[in-house]
């Protein structure tokens, strides 16, 4: 099987006759990389003929000549008709539009054989309980360039840390880039985060599963969040642990946004810190959303945030849901009335 990775030189359409072809063939163990001018096709084919069978060479000739006459064709989609391997990826559900957002990913996919390279990785991901393998590849195509045994070792590491099978699959589905990290790096990060937030092992696993991206975040930023919550807002260690376990992504909120939201909730809305700890996801909502909805409820006489009183509105009900749901189920007004009120602010 022969696969081409095709790259055009920069310049005008008239100047784009010079291209680079890297040909990887199952018949040989090396790659051929040549710079080709349109008038040099004869010598190009002669060079290729030294290592390729006549059948493979015929395929290469078709691709090269097609590319020279259609210089605008420069995506993986343009190569699908020539590559059964790429066709299998399409059948799997891989989106080349998504893949091509990552620099170097198109070259990687075009250079791989479906059997056994891609197929082995797909089978491994399936064995981990991941049903939508294509989604994982779309968001992290470089996983296909990893050795299967390397990925197995990283999965075994998580198992050794007592992550359950469903937790591991959730981590990979939510952040496939996890599988590209060295075990030593992940181990160091998990250890550091456990210390920063004084987490029990079980809570660390919960936090990791809910938001694996947080584990890959800047550790300095996480330390700043912990310091702010302890020193500025007087949270006890158990309260902080509970907060990041309930909503891990809160820990990567910018310091400025975090302060504005907390100050508005605590001072203006008179929400207790315990309520925020119970549902910290409120801190991931824009200040404008919180402020507009609160002011509307206050205008309507519905801003009741005390759980012991009638008409209680939880933080989740306040900020969750689209505008139409909030209007009908919480504010009990029409969307038009809502927008009319917002204009007065």
Q: Is residue 185 part of a domain?
A: no
Residues 128 and 88 in one domain: yes
Using the 8-state DSSP alphabet, how is residue 327 labeled? I
> What pLDDT is attached to residue 10?
40
Q: Say which CATH number the domain at 84 has.
A: 1.25.70.10
Helices (H), 228-314: 237-246, 255-263, 273-278, 287-300
Whether residue 175 sits in one domain with residue 79: yes
pLDDT of residue 79: 85
Domains identified in the chain, total number: 2
Residues 49 and 85 in one domain: no
Q: Are residues 146 and 102 in the same domain?
A: yes
On whether both 62 and 133 belong to a single domain, the answer is: no
Residue 296: predicted pLDDT: 98
- 217 lies in some domain: no
Based on the fold, state whether residues 165 and 79 are members of the same structural domain.
yes
The answer on 37 and 94 residing in a single domain is no
Helix (H) or strand (E) holding 8: strand 2-8
Question: Would residue 187 count as lying in a domain?
Answer: no
User: Which residue pairs from 258-264 have beta carbons closer than 8 angstroms and sit at least 24 positions apart in sequence?
Assistant: 258/225, 258/228, 258/283, 259/228, 259/232, 260/287, 261/285, 261/287, 261/290, 262/233, 264/290, 264/291
Query: Which of the listed residues 74, 95, 129 is the one where a domain comes to its end?
Result: 74
Within-domain flag for 32: yes
Contact 124, 151 (CB under 8 A): yes
Of 28, 49, 74, which residue constitutes the final position of a domain?
A: 74
- Answer whether residue 298 is part of any domain: no
Show the low-confidence residues of the chain (pLDDT under 50): 1-39, 41, 44-45, 48, 51-52, 55, 66-73
Would you state the pLDDT for residue 36? 43
In a shared domain, residues 86 and 155: yes
pLDDT of residue 72: 42
Q: Tell me, yes or no, whether 173 and 105 share the same domain.
A: yes
Q: Structural domain of residue 8, as residue ranges? A: 1-74
Q: What is the dihedral of CA 279, 285, 288, 294, to 10 degrees?
A: -20
Would 267 be classed as within a structural domain?
Answer: no
In a domain, 13, yes or no: yes
Polymer length in residues for the chain: 345
Q: Is the dihedral angle over the CA atoms 129, 131, 133, 138 positive or is it negative?
A: negative
Same domain as 94, residue 135: yes
User: Which contiguous run of DSSP H or E holds residue 24?
Assistant: strand 19-25
> pLDDT, tens digit, for every residue of 234-248?
999 999 999 999 999
Torsion of CA 237, 318, 303, 332, to 10 degrees: -160
Domain boundary among 27, 44, 74: 74
Tell whether 57 and 152 lie within a shared domain. Answer: no
């Amino acid at each position: 099987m022969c696969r081409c990775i095709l790259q055009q030189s920069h310049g005008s359409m008239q100047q784009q006759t010079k291209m680079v072809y890297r040909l990887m063939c199952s018949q040989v163990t090396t790659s051929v990389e040549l710079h080709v001018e349109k008038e040099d096709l004869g010598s190009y084919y002669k060079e290729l003929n030294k290592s390729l069978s006549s059948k493979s060479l015929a395929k290469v000739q078709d691709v090269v000549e097609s590319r020279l006459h259609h210089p605008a064709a420069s995506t993986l989609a343009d190569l699908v008709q020539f590559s059964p391997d790429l066709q299998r990826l399409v059948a799997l559900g891989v989106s080349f539009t998504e893949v091509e957002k990552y620099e170097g990913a198109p070259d990687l996919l075009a250079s791989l054989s479906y059997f056994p390279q891609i197929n082995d990785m797909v089978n491994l991901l399936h064995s981990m309980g991941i049903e939508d393998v294509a989604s994982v590849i779309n968001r992290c195509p470089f996983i296909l360039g990893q050795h299967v045994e390397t990925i197995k070792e990283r999965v075994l590491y998580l198992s050794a840390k007592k992550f359950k099978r469903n937790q591991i699959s959730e981590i990979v589905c939510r952040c496939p880039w996890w599988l590209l990290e060295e075990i030593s790096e992940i181990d160091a990060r998990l250890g550091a985060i456990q210390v920063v937030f004084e987490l029990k092992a079980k809570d660390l696993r919960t936090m990791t599963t809910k938001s694996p991206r947080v584990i890959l975040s800047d550790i300095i930023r996480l330390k700043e969040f912990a310091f702010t919550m302890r020193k500025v807002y007087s949270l006890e260690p158990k309260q902080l642990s509970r907060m990041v376990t309930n909503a891990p992504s809160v820990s990567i909120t910018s310091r400025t946004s975090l302060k504005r939201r907390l100050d508005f909730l605590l001072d203006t809305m008179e929400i207790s810190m315990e309520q925020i700890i119970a549902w910290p996801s409120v801190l991931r909502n824009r200040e404008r959303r919180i402020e507009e909805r609160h002011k509307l409820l206050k205008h309507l006489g519905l801003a009741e945030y005390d759980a012991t009183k009638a008409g209680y509105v939880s933080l989740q009900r306040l900020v969750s849901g689209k505008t139409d749901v909030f209007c009908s189920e919480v504010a009990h007004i029409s969307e038009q009335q809502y927008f009319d009120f917002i204009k007065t602010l």
